[in-house]
Amino acid sequence: METISHREMRNRSGTYLRRVEAGESFLVSNNGTVVALLGPPDMLSGIEVARRRGQSRPAHATAEGFGAIARRKATSTSAEIVADTRGRW
């Protein structure tokens, strides 16, 4: 994905908007820091935006098989666990 500066985007906004309309997308930087994604509406989901920012990553495996994990009965109630973490036991 091409990175453009805020100034370049402002000075050539018509050009970049036509390219966005054609399906392209751009990262916009301000003082060398990427601050925005310019692209067609609904182009990316929130998860995809986070992935491109390095804030998430795709799963390495599917969720199949998690339903087969046996539940365990807790020896304490939630209230007891909370009280213990707060030092009120």
How do residues 54-74 score in pLDDT, each as one tens digit? 888 878 888 787 778 888 888
Give Cα 13 distance to the centre of its chain: 26
Nearest CA-CA partner of 1 in 59, 45, 44:
44
Q: In the Cβ-directed half-sphere of 56, how many Cα atoms lie within 13 Å?
A: 9
Domains of the chain, earliest start first: 2-84 (3.40.1620.10)
Which residues, 6+ apart, have CB-to-CB distance to 57 below 8 Å? 51
pLDDT digits (tens, 9 = 90+) for 27-55: 999 999 999 999 887 756 777 778 878 88
CA-based Rg of the chain, rounded to a whole angstrom? 23
Q: Which amino acid is it at 12?
A: R
The reported pTM is: 0.46
